[in-house]
Structure 1
Amino acid sequence: MGWWAARARASRPARGVYGGRVRGRPATLEVMRHTTAEPAGRPPSIAALTGLRAVAAVWVVLFHYRADVERLVPPARHLDPLLASGYLGVDVFFVLSGFVLAYNYGHRLDRWRPREARDFVQNRVARVWPVQVVTLHADLLYAAAVGALGVSADGHRRTPAAYVENLTMTHLWFSDRPSFNAPAWSISAEWLVYLLCPLLLLGFARVRRAGTALAGAAGLYAVMLLVFALFALPNGNVPHAGLLRVVVEFVAGVLLVRVHQQAPRGIGRAALPVAVALVLVVLLVPRSHGGGYWLAPAFALLVLLLAAGTGPLAAVLSTRWSVLWGEASYCLYMTHVLVQPLLRSVVHPLADGRGSAAGALVLVLDALVLGAVALLLRRAVEVPARGLLRARTRHAASAPRQPVGAPNG
């Protein structure tokens, strides 16, 4: 643990460290959505990765709002390749999750410690489950109101069995078909790797060299892309593609932490050119993102570069506003599809027949509503529920053990 913390301090800028100061304010902002209160010696946060979460979430939103954007503002059709590839934002989330969890917990789970593993899993539940439950029931109420319960013509499942699966965050494990709040499929996928993460970090502790870790990450992506190349369906996916993506990209993110620890800090300056190149490839080479996930390894590279904390792109993504929206990105991701019918029925008609300028104003209004809902859910549900669940966990862990058969009071 001492070596890990010392290496992290030597390679990370002081800005953004827990308990320190950021632009004159207390640095209480989290890295992504995988952070918990930790003892002194924990590696300092990497604010740029929190900001990257905001970019990934907005990209996913644009993917689902693509038809609305292009109808309201027809010139936006020139950006269609970028909007149509927004589903790749989930691949950014997956590699980020692996990287940040290994970065934050690798020193604590480098040996088998049952209590640490239990606390890790409980913290993951506290982090994702409350919002999952609230959005599940929001979707249930909406479906009941419009008569969409059951199984729809496109296979979307809103059944009692799917409800139980969503409560336990296992719905993707049993079926590739979406159920209830559709974006929550990725939460089910991540829940699987969260459960596996203590074992993954045991293996990670035995990977000592950056070259070995980099080769392992590259090999995992190569296997994933080969599977897609050989077995992809006409829609570009393979059966259980979500589980394949999350396992490969999460483990690759874990391995890249070892590369990050041994890489020169100056590599962060390459993040901006890589990001610009990614955007140009998406815009100019549509087949690069046509369901085959060929760009996924580039996102892993971008995460590695941004983790260095240097360069202009890291500076932009580390600003207070970027970090704020990165922290709210989970709630934005989980609510944007739920809010879409309301926006289409109430807000979008305001621009009918009024041209692109009116359409652009309506899209700004969309953004304000989506942002307000995300911040409200974070403030009213995510943060207090997480604190409550963790407080109960800490209380249970610190309570004296009773003899077997003793009364519970």
Structure 2
Amino acid sequence: MSVSSSSTATTPAPTRRANLPSLTGLRFFAALLVFFFHASLMDSPIPPNAPINPFADDGVAGFFTTAFSKAGYMGVSFFFVLSGFVLAWASRPGERLTSFWRRRVFKIFPNHLVVFAASMLLFAGAAVTSVGDWLPNMLLIHTFFPQPSINLSVNPPSWSLGSEFLFYMLFPLLMVGIRRIAEKRLWLWSGLMVAGMVGVQLVTRFLIPATPKSAITPISDLQFWFGYLFPPARVFEFALGILLARIVLAGRWPRRIGFGVSLVLSVLGYAAALVAPFEYGFVVATIIPVAALICSVASGDVEGRETWLRSRPMVWLGEVSFGFYLVQGVTIFYLRSLLGESTYSVPVAVLVVIGFFAVSLLGGWLLYRYVETPAMRRWSRARKRPAAVTAPETAPETAPETAPVPAPVSATIPAQATAHHDSLAQRPSTPVRG
């Protein structure tokens, strides 16, 4: 069945699309992968690139670093695909661009600016003295610059928000085109997106200069920028997420590829990332497992399956995962700097990592509770003007309406990354919102 090219024709869908609480819970594990990646680093992204890994035993330290050396890359790729999936799931034809972009801006910028300020106060302000280094970061355009002093400045994990910001700007245009793809061709187009990701890494490996080498990776700074940080190179993942949402909505996701199979694929993909050439560990080795995880979990929610991922604790962790993601870098890099270059016995080092996690989780909750939620409540929608009063002497006074309060936490699925990180919340008259 093909989808009409008119702007109002979409894949047939139920009047009320299912909420996806299990995907909310799954998001936290993606953020946790990024946390362990940063906690295990031998070379911090913050100059002077001192080790973060707290283990004194060389064998244990090496295992910790190797085991999580691809975790951050997989976690970020998950957020990028999820962003496209969530926005497509929530999308309805006819929404005003200004309304869509307004919600997206107020989803990411308040948290980002608070963590940006904290980073500048704690450590970045002493190292990033040029306006040309920190201003692009504040505006989330820093990853369009190839210089590491700009694209990884202030709060290094915020680089992914630069890609998310581009995704949000492109989504309305991408959605118009993807709505027109016939259902029978959705898998073909998904394959083309994966091919695009492979193409990016082929260019990175063979066409981008391999010298001078990066201080924190085995490839050059320019290769790392183009293959991993450059926002246009990551659009393939976002577009794949949109296509996958249509596949699930159309009932074309294979039921035999469930959560268990997806976990096995994830282990195999991660193992492949560990042994593949460095560039292919960014996205290519793990993209199929990431897609399978998102689709299998979403399909389970659509079918109403009860899973531990949709439990209240997991949904709460998913809700705070955006804030957790943003602050975990600041927490790890700053607290580790207070400890100097000291390393510790295994029990003490484990406690150090647990301490990093506890402070990061607290910071993520504080951002969610006191920054993200109030900002979305207050500014994500324009306030309605009061109705015109034609007979003031007899008509009752009409006060301006306040912005609608978002749905309860259990009815939402924030993204991001992203993350890089979007919400599906109930509306009284429509299924979900992006």
Structure 2 gaps, min length 5: 1-6, 42-51, 211-218, 389-434
1:148 partner amino acid: A
Q: Which residue of 1 aligns with 2:405?
A: none
Aligned partners of 2:256, 2:140: CA distance in 1, in Å? 36
The reply to whether residue 379 of structure 1 matches residue 379 of structure 2 is no
TM-score, normalisation: structure 2: 0.71
Which of 13, 18, 43 does residue 7 from structure 1 map onto?
13
Structure 1 gaps, min length 5: 9-40, 151-158, 402-409
Q: Which residue of 2 aligns with 1:124?
A: 104
Rate the CA distance shift 1:244–1:2 in 2: closer, same or farther, 3 A: closer
Q: CA deviation at 1:130?
A: 0.2
- Could you tell which deviates more after superposition, 95-104 or 335-344? 335-344
TM-score, normalisation: structure 1: 0.75
Rate the CA distance shift 1:144–1:63 in 2: closer, same or farther, 3 A: closer
5 Å matches for 1:6-405?
A: 7-8=13-14, 41-67=15-41, 68-69=52-53, 71=55, 75=60, 77-78=62-63, 80-86=65-71, 87-105=73-91, 108-109=92-93, 113=94, 116-143=96-123, 147-150=126-129, 159-175=130-146, 177-209=151-183, 211-232=184-205, 234=210, 235=219, 237=224, 239=226, 241=228, 242-263=230-251, 267=255, 270-283=258-271, 286-288=274-276, 290-292=278-280, 293-294=283-284, 295-309=286-300, 315-345=307-337, 353=344, 355-390=345-380, 393-395=381-383, 398=385
The structure in which a higher percent of residues are helix is: 1
What is the total number of aligned residue pairs between the two structures?
348
Rate the CA distance shift 1:289–1:275 in 2: closer, same or farther, 3 A: farther
Aligned partners of 1:135, 1:262: CA distance in 2, in Å? 40
Rate the CA distance shift 1:238–1:179 in 2: closer, same or farther, 3 A: closer
Aligned partners of 1:263, 1:344: CA distance in 2, in Å? 48
Rate the CA distance shift 1:102–1:84 in 2: closer, same or farther, 3 A: same
Q: CA deviation at 1:264?
A: 6.0
2:360 aligned counterpart, secondary structure: helix
Rate the CA distance shift 1:305–1:384 in 2: closer, same or farther, 3 A: same
The answer to which structure, 1 or 2, has the higher relative contact order (CA under 8 A, 6+ apart) is 2
The percent of aligned pairs where both chains have the same amino acid is 26
1:54–1:329 Cα contact (<8 Å) kept:
yes
**Cα RMSD, aligned residues only:** 3.3
- Could you tell which deviates more after superposition, 233-242 or 60-69? 233-242
CA deviations 1:83-121 (Å, max 9, x no partner) are 00022211110000000000011xx23xxx4x6221010
2:27–2:318 Cα contact (<8 Å) kept:
yes
2:279 aligned counterpart, secondary structure: coil
Aligned partners of 2:351, 2:137: CA distance in 1, in Å? 36
2:327 partner amino acid: T
CA deviations 1:21-62 (Å, max 9, x no partner) are xxxxxxxxxxxxxxxxxxxx5523211211221111110111
- Could you tell which deviates more after superposition, 331-340 or 73-82? 73-82
Aligned partners of 2:54, 2:202: CA distance in 1, in Å? 31
Q: CA deviation at 1:70?
A: 6.3
